[in-house]
Amino acid sequence: MKHVTGKSINLALSVRGRSSLKAVGLEDEVIVRHAIPMYARLIHDRDGSRRPIPYGKSDQCIFSVGRRFLNEVLLSAAEKHSNVNIHFNHKLVTCDPETGSMTFERYPSKEITTAQADLIVGCDGAFSAVRRQMLKRPRFNYSQTYIPHGYMELTIPATPDGQFAMEVNYLHIWPRDSFMMIALPNQDKTYTVTLFMPYENFEDLITPEKLLDFFFENFPDAIPLIGKKNLIEDYFRLKPSPLISVKCNPYHVGDKTVIMGDAAHAMVPFYGQGMNAGFEDCLIFDELLERENFQLARVLPEFTLYRTPDAEAICDLAMYNYVEMRHLVNSKSFLLRKKCDKFLNLIFADSWIPLYTMVTFSKKRYHLCVKNKKWQDKVINQTIWAVGVSASVVGLSVFAKLLHNHPHWLEAALESLNKFKLSMPLFHN
Ligand SMILES: Cc1cnn(-c2ccc(OCc3ccccc3)c(C(=O)O)c2)c1-c1ccc(Cl)c(F)c1
């Protein structure tokens, strides 16, 4: 698979994305025919040990799907509709979001062609050409953040006998402080490995020796899996891709233009929700079309109003995870975090659900996941505080009762304290 800079080779599909595929009758084709379920994380430690942490019940899994396969399935399904015309190799050069006029440059002829739309739906990614035109309009809010980390995709080939080189139904994670690496399985028995690292670290690894030393120190078990030759060739052939988070508002212009997916809310990949959020945009937009009887003048502003809090919440959660995960210096801290999550969920059952579980394995609106998490934290803190206070009260009353029943214990304690003070020159005033 040729690496296209900035486009990950495989993606994590979870329940939100599945629901959108189901709505267009493609869930089985993607899930049954192609996707590889990952029922747990497999945390790789520096010493080469691996520990699985299941996502939860057996039906709670995320799926690894290939971008190319997904594109092919979606395009094939779209072109089956007689009213769909697909024009490849047409780059949108500019558009007028208010009138729906569009100008394209054809590749490779560079011929300019125009078109007029009743509705422009801009799903053209984090560096959207449609959004660029919206940006020129008054009262269009926009913010973007490049994080110091970049990412590079490497490959773990299949074994000589054509099998997966690692355990297959896992999301492989190597948590290493500010370096993070993950691997998702592909249908061709390879793994796509994504190395997340500050650009300055990528820039430090300028020779094969430095690269191998770095991997030997941080990801020793990955060297034989990727292969030294492949690692060196891929690493120096590719360039790290930037990671950007984009928020903007509104997502529409009048009844003529709407943006969705990364064009509307690009997020850093540390929640594995980018594609799921974009697919969920489509489902929500479709439901609004039905509900408002295709009145675009109502549907578009409603889409902005409804979707903005959720899109911004998941952008914030992904950035929050980016910060959090860098403090998981090794697998033990990652494991501890997840064990705490599991313990609290066991103790507080349905009133305490790990945030990752709410986001990944439910369709609860993203902003309500955050709201619920804040409520959960408040309840936990209050519960722990109450347990702490009552334990102290109980402890003190037991202590007072003991002293009441054995007054000589207090005399003996005070006498030995005096002796200790006399023996310590520090206490002499
Ligand atoms: C592609 C994909 C799909 N889901 N996730 C994901 C993300 C976060 C997770 O935990 C957050 C957390 C763990 C421990 C402490 C705080 C937060 C978990 C998990 O719990 O398994 C899984 C990723 C992913 C993407 C990039 C990196 Cl670097 C990564 F490690 C995983």
Contacts of 174 (CB under 8 A, 6+ apart): 43, 44, 180, 181, 182, 218, 219, 222
22 vs 17, 19, 35, 185, 279, CA distance in Å? 9, 5, 14, 23, 11
pLDDT for the residue numbered 387: 80
Beta strand ranges found along 45-165 (DSSP E): 50-54, 62-66, 90-96, 101-106, 112-116, 120-122, 141-156
Cβ(337) – ligand 1 distance below 6 Å: yes
Cβ(174) – ligand 1 distance below 6 Å: no
Q: Please answer whether residues 284 and 21 qualify as being in contact, where contact means their C-beta atoms are separated by less than 8 angstroms.
A: no
Q: How many CB atoms within 10 Å of residue 84?
A: 10
Cβ(365) – ligand 1 distance below 6 Å: no
Contacts of 193 (CB under 8 A, 6+ apart): 153, 154, 155, 156, 181, 182, 183, 222, 226
- What superfamily does domain 11-82+122-320 belong to in CATH? FAD/NAD(P)-binding domain (3.50.50.60)
38: left (phi over 0), alpha (psi -120 to 50) or beta: beta
pLDDT digits (tens, 9 = 90+) for 374-392: 887 787 778 778 888 888 8
Place of tokens 């039905």: 290
pLDDT digits (tens, 9 = 90+) for 277-328: 999 999 999 999 999 999 999 999 999 999 999 999 999 999 999 998 887 6
Q: Which of 39, 64, 171 to mutate to test the pocket of ligand 1 (most atoms within 8 A of CB)?
A: 171
pLDDT digits (tens, 9 = 90+) for 137-165: 999 999 999 999 999 999 999 999 999 99
Task: Say if residue 354 is preceded by a cis peptide, omega within 30 of 0.
Answer: no
| Every domain of the chain and the residues it spans | 11-82+122-320, 382-427
Q: Kindly state the helix (H) or strand (E) to which residue 43 belongs, with its residue range.
A: strand 40-44
Beta strand ranges found along 163-251 (DSSP E): 170-176, 179-185, 191-198, 241-249
| Partners of 242 in the β-ladder | 150
Q: How many CB atoms within 10 Å of residue 417?
A: 10
Q: Kindly state the helix (H) or strand (E) to which residue 40 belongs, with its residue range.
A: strand 40-44
Cβ(328) – ligand 1 distance below 6 Å: yes
pLDDT digits (tens, 9 = 90+) for 39-93: 999 999 999 899 999 998 777 899 999 999 999 999 999 999 999 999 999 999 9
Q: Is the pLDDT of residue 333 over 90?
A: no
Take atom 20 of ligand 1 and give the residue whose Cα is closest.
356
pLDDT for the residue numbered 329: 59
Per DSSP, the chain holds a count of helices (H) and strands (E) of 15, 16
Report how far residue 355's alpha carbon sits from residue 10's, in angstroms, rounded to the nearest whole number. 24
Take atom 4 of ligand 1 and give the residue whose Cα is closest.
272
Q: How many CB atoms within 10 Å of residue 50?
A: 16
End-to-end CA distance of the chain: 79
Q: Kindly state the helix (H) or strand (E) to which residue 259 belongs, with its residue range.
A: strand 257-259
Q: Is the pLDDT of residue 4 over 60?
A: no
**401: confidence class by pLDDT, cuts 50, 70, 90:** confident
Cβ(324) – ligand 1 distance below 6 Å: yes
pLDDT digits (tens, 9 = 90+) for 237-276: 999 999 999 999 999 999 999 999 999 999 999 999 999 9
